[in-house]
């Protein structure tokens, strides 16, 4: 009778009568697997005896490099967005990151702080130098003005002196009554008769 049952209805009837029954689903528990995974997460079962692949096969160095570079680039983009660094410094640090200059994020942040401090120091020094140049220029201008004034004063003084001298010479050159006219004094010797 069981071998003759070919339809679903027949099977249902046999099951109802108790001739056949449904087997329970086999249990495939992951409890042990979960327990093992938790232990591995803590660092158990990962010694040299448990490793089958090479170091690079287990954790590729390229993957590590990609992760590191992404962290650094994210930080640079964030700092640029927050205006902590300008585009020139951003580009310089971006290229240096690609060139493997920074080992990790902390090293990059320290470098940025140092670079900003150095930049501020250079700016302060440049401002001081500019102020010093401006002061020196103003001083030179003041000295030049004073020199020009003193030269003008000397020239005016010399003119006065020369005028006074000329006046005195003119006074002394006016003829006194009974004296020979000035400027017509003859130094020639009188001719002797032969």
CA distance 118 to 153: 52
Sequence-distant contacts of 115-124: CB under 8 A, at least 24 apart: 115/89, 116/85
φ/ψ (deg, to 5) at 132:
-65, -45
Q: Tell me the C-alpha distance between 130 and 124, whole Å.
A: 10
Q: In this structure, how many other beta carbons lie within 10 angstroms of the beta carbon of residue 179?
A: 7
Residue 115: is its pLDDT beyond 90? yes
pLDDT in tens, 130-154: 999 999 999 999 999 999 999 888 8
Q: Which helix (H) or strand (E) holds 129?
A: helix 105-173
Rounded CA-CA distance 182/165 in Å is 18
Closest CA to 22 of 31, 11, 32: 11
Q: What is the pTM of this model?
A: 0.58
Q: Which residue has the tokens 């140092």?
A: 114
CB contact at 8 A, 91 and 76:
no
pLDDT tens digit sequence for 73-83? 999 999 999 99
8 Å CB contact between 108 and 102 = yes
Structure token pair of residue 9: 């209805």
Give the pLDDT of residue 172.
Answer: 79
DSSP letter at 58? H
CB 84 within 8 A of CB 117: no
Mean of per-residue pLDDT scores for the chain: 90
CA-to-CA distance for 86 and 179, rounded, in angstroms? Answer: 97
**Distance in angstroms (rounded) separating the CA atoms of residues 125 and 142:** 25
More confident position, 182 or 98: 98
* pLDDT beyond 80 at 45: yes
Nearest of 168, 86, 71 to residue 123 by alpha carbon = 86
The pLDDT of residue 177: 58
């Amino acid at each position: 009778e069981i071998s003759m049952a070919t339809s679903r209805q027949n099977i249902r009837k046999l099951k109802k009568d108790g001739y056949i029954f449904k087997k329970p689903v086999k249990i495939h528990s992951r409890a042990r697997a979960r327990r093992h995974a938790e232990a591995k997460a803590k660092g158990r079962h990962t010694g040299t005896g448990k490793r089958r692949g090479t170091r690079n096969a287990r954790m590729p160095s390229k993957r590590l490099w990609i992760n590191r570079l992404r962290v650094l680039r994210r930080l640079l983009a964030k700092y640029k967005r927050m205006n902590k660094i300008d585009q020139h410094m951003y580009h310089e640090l971006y290229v240096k990151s690609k060139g493997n200059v920074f080992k990790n994020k902390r090293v990059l942040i320290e470098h940025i702080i140092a670079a900003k401090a150095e930049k501020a120091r250079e700016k302060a020094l440049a401002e001081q130098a500019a102020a010093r140049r401006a002061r020196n220029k103003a001083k030179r201008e003041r000295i030049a003005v004073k020199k020009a004034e003193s030269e003008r004063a000397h020239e005016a003084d010399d003119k006065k002196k020369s005028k006074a001298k000329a006046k005195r010479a003119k006074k002394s050159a006016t003829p006194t009554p009974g004296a020979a006219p000035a400027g017509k004094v003859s130094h020639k010797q009188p001719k002797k008769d032969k």
